[in-house]
């Protein structure tokens, strides 16, 4: 041969060409339902959305719909779009993208609401499909809501097999992964919608069902814009959030450090670094030391974040890592699956505010519906924290760079991967000195519980409402006295910290707390026995003067909010105490003052459904506060406050009650 190649080498090259050609045809057949995509993935009103459709249908329609509570809300139909014919798919389409012409340029109408949108368009064979999801962001970030949720387009791209390869050997042509993958191609998953339906859609439906305003964008936007997150208080990521670029991570950590609150409903989170090239059209992820950046720009090498040369473990801002975790309810790992009773968390630190209103106590479980495997929220990839048990509670050791104030709130056993430790899943949270916070579900499938699990719904509502308003109470980290009780979950025996204490008549017991305040404030205490306030010291001594059951509650508060914890004291002996109490309301309320108008005195009746801090403040019509009527920590119950307006001039005033997330305003008139 003139070029010096042997006949064998030519034959081998020809054979490879034939195999790759036949595989390409198979890929075209395999992904006929996924021949449409849009760019960019996040647009605002007035922006242009570029739509790319590859179809044999000469003239077709494109319908744009919003994905909401009622599944698909049609926004518009574009008629008479012309096709230039079905184009073949290049063998390197997974890396280079496709060269399709723009099918339609859609200028986003100004009256469309923020949210997730999709398209209905023809497949390659002319049949119709729904796919090509995109995010409609706000023109002015943060103008509609201070809550932002992300579409995980980096992960969708990493798992996208359209064109023959993704960044995994499994599923890629010839069993060999790609090191570089294009963002300019349809998604192979879920009819071209990436992993949206699995984890983002349940969150969106829950937010909209509960009338919670939110804005939405893509991971790429956080990667590109260092100032984007400055416009928000809360950032929510759901599902599989495995692939992070360095700019994305820097921007997210900066957001948290300055006081932003991050809700990570994800597992296997921040596991690989990726980098963007070709003006953000190509995602690079070698996952090995053959990355050409090694030894040149080590900070951009595409390896695990915890590994050299990156040495930046994700635990530093998330509190948990897949390195310590593994699998639960995974199709390829059959031991710890739903049919064997797995998929739920065991509760720890149940006095924490995230469990308010659930009735859960330490050692209980939640997150696994008994009749529906799709309702199990622990799985399929889960993250763990290095911790040790201390006085019946899991406490982070910090050996894996997890913040020492990462409070572990739920655990579950898991199966290790060949390269992970298989330690318990570690759902938890921490707060920094600026009021920034991270809640980490440490599980990919958390949003599965938002559809029907009322306990998961309540916990998530507690988290989101707290994160939206900001301000965190002191954290009660340990206490005395306590009793250690054996319990079991998933055939594993563990010790639970209980606060049910048995005493004899005339015994005395000192109750004390260890408290961590994230802001470094000096905290204050109030102790109640049943409904009677007994002390404001940091400790309290209970003297058992007679038999009976007594509930001792400690409230600890800073300038932001209040935490509480209770003991049940069972005193053996003849009762010298007749229990009396007020009927507790099942909801908050504040009545119209009576009399009204008045001069100079009036009364206001109000009720608290839960124990906590309450304020009632009086404002003039200019919004200036003129008096504080109530500022106290009270038990749940009905109350009455007397107000004397002798020092106020005649006029109309507004009085406002605030307790937890409850707020109500009413009008009163002083008439002299």
Q: What was the pLDDT predicted at 585?
A: 62
Co-location of 552 and 616 in the same domain:
no
Task: For residue 631, give the nearest of 616, 641, 642 by alpha carbon.
Answer: 616
Does residue 184 lie in a domain region? no
Co-location of 562 and 490 in the same domain:
yes
Co-location of 493 and 567 in the same domain:
yes
Tally of CB atoms within 10 A around 176: 9
Co-location of 507 and 563 in the same domain:
yes
**Per-residue pLDDT tens over the stretch 452-477:** 999 999 999 999 999 999 999 999 99
What is the domain extent for residue 655?
Answer: 589-670
Q: What 3-state DSSP class applies to 30?
A: helix
Q: What was the pLDDT predicted at 662?
A: 86
Co-location of 489 and 564 in the same domain:
yes
What are the residues whose beta carbons fall under 8 Å from the beta carbon of 336, sequence distance 6 or more? 327, 328, 329, 342, 413, 414, 415, 490
Does residue 336 lie in a domain region? no
Task: For residue 112, give the nearest of 38, 43, 61 by alpha carbon.
Answer: 43
Does residue 554 lie in a domain region? yes
Does residue 609 lie in a domain region? yes
Q: What was the pLDDT predicted at 195?
A: 83
Q: What was the pLDDT predicted at 567?
A: 97
Computed over every residue of the chain, the mean pLDDT equals 90
**Per-residue pLDDT tens over the stretch 184-195:** 999 988 767 778
Co-location of 621 and 547 in the same domain:
no
Task: For residue 361, give the nearest of 213, 487, 191 by alpha carbon.
Answer: 487
CATH number of the domain encompassing residue 606? 2.60.40.1930
Q: What 3-state DSSP class applies to 362?
A: coil
Co-location of 492 and 551 in the same domain:
yes
Phi, psi (5° rounding) for residue 141? -55, 135
Does residue 165 lie in a domain region? no
CA dihedral 367, 476, 313, 411 (to 10 degrees): -30
What are the residues whose beta carbons fall under 8 Å from the beta carbon of 608, sequence distance 6 or more? 585, 588, 614, 634, 635, 636, 637, 639, 659
**Which pairing describes strands 508-516 and 637-644: parallel, antiparallel, or unpaired?**
unpaired
Alpha carbon distances (Å) from 232 to 141, 146, 252, 259, 553:
8, 4, 11, 10, 36
Does residue 211 lie in a domain region? no
**Per-residue pLDDT tens over the stretch 342-386:** 999 999 999 999 999 999 999 999 999 888 778 899 999 999 999
Co-location of 536 and 606 in the same domain:
no
CATH number of the domain encompassing residue 556? 2.60.40.10
Does residue 444 lie in a domain region? no
Co-location of 554 and 619 in the same domain:
no
Token pair belonging to 237: 């990521």
Token pair belonging to 37: 């995509």
How far the first Cα of the chain sits from its last, in Å, is 113
Q: What was the pLDDT predicted at 557?
A: 95
Does residue 158 lie in a domain region? no
Co-location of 482 and 568 in the same domain:
yes
**Domain count within the chain:** 3
Co-location of 491 and 544 in the same domain:
yes
**Which pairing describes strands 234-240 and 147-151: parallel, antiparallel, or unpaired?**
parallel
Asked if residues 270 and 241 have their Cβ atoms less than 8 Å apart, the reply is yes
Averages of pLDDT over runs of 10 residues in the chain (672 residues) are 36 35 42 77 98 94 91 93 90 94 97 95 83 95 98 96 95 96 92 81 94 97 98 97 98 99 98 97 98 98 98 98 95 80 96 96 94 86 97 97 98 92 96 98 96 96 97 97 91 90 93 97 95 92 90 95 96 59 65 91 92 92 90 90 93 91 88 84
Asked if residues 343 and 373 have their Cβ atoms less than 8 Å apart, the reply is yes
């Amino acid at each position: 041969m003139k070029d010096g190649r042997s006949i064998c080498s030519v034959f081998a090259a020809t054979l490879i060409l034939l195999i790759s050609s036949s595989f390409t045809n198979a890929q075209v057949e395999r992904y006929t339902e996924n021949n449409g995509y849009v760019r960019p993935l996040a647009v605002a009103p007035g922006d242009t959305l570029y739509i790319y459709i590859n179809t044999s249908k000469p003239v077709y329609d494109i319908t744009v719909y919003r994905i909401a509570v009622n599944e698909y809300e049609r926004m518009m139909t574009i008629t008479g779009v012309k096709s230039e014919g079905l184009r073949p798919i290049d063998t390197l389409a997974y890396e280079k993208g496709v060269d399709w012409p723009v099918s339609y340029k859609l200028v986003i109408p100004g009256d469309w609401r923020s949210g997730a949108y999709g398209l209905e368009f023809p497949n390659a064979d002319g049949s119709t499909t729904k796919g090509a999801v995109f995010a409609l962001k706000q023109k002015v970030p943060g103008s509609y809501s201070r809550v932002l949720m992300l579409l995980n387009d980096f992960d969708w791209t990493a798992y996208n097999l359209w064109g023959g390869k993704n960044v995994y050997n499994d599923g890629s042509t010839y069993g060999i992964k790609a090191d570089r993958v294009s963002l300019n191609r349809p998604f192979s998953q879920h009819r071209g919608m990436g992993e949206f339906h699995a984890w983002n859609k349940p969150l969106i439906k829950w937010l909209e069902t509960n009338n919670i305003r939110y804005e939405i964008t893509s991971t790429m936007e956080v990667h590109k814009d260092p100032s984007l997150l400055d416009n928000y208080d809360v950032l929510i990521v759901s599902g599989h959030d495995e692939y992070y670029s360095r700019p994305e991570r820097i921007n997210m950590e900066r957001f948290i450090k300055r006081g932003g609150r991050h809700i990570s409903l994800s597992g296997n989170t921040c596991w690989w670094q990726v980098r963007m090239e070709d003006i953000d059209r190509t995602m690079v992820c070698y996952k090995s030391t053959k990355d050409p950046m090694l030894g040149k720009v080590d900070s951009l090498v595409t390896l695990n974040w915890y590994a050299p040369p990156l040495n930046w473990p994700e635990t530093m801002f998330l509190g948990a890592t897949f390195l310590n975790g593994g699998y639960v309810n995974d199709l390829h790992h059959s031991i710890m699956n739903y049919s064997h009773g797995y998929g739920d968390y065991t509760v720890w630190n149940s006095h924490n505010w995230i469990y308010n209103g659930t009735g859960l106590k330490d050692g209980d479980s939640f997150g696994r519906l008994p009749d529906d495997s799709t309702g199990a929220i622990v799985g399929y990839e889960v993250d763990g924290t290095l911790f040790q048990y201390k006085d019946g509670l899991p406490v982070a050791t910090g050996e894996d760079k997890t913040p020492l104030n990462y409070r572990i709130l739920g655990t579950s056993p898991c199966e290790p991967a060949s390269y992970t430790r298989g330690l318990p899943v570690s759902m938890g949270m921490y707060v920094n000195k600026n009021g920034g916070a991270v809640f980490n579900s440490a599980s990919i499938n958390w949003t599965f519980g938002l559809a029907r699990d009322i306990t998961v719904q309540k916990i998530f509502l507690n988290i989101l409402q707290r994160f939206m308003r900001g301000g965190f109470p002191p954290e009660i980290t340990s206490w005395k006295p306590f009793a250690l009780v054996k319990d079991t979950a998933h055939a594993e025996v563990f010790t639970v910290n209980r606060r049910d204490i048995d005493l004899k008549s005339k015994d005395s017991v000192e109750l004390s707390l260890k408290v961590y305040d994230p802001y470094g404030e000096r905290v204050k205490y109030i102790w109640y026995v049943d409904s009677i306030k007994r002390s404001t010291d940091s400790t309290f001594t209970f003297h058992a003067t007679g038999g009976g059951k007594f509930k001792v509650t400690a409230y600890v508060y800073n300038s932001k909010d209040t935490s509480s914890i209770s003991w049940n004291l069972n005193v053996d002996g003849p009762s010298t105490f007749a229990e009396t109490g007020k009927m507790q309301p099942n909801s908050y309320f504040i009545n119209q003052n009576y009399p009204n108008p008045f001069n100079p005195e009036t009364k206001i009746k109000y009720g608290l459904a839960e124990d906590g801090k309450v304020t009632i403040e009086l404002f003039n019509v200019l919004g200036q506060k003129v008096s504080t009527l109530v500022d106290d920590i009270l038990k749940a119950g009905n109350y009455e406050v007397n107000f004397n307006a002798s020092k106020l001039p005649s006029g109309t005033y507004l009085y406002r009650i605030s307790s937890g997330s409850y707020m109500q305003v009413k009008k009163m008139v002083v008439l002299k």
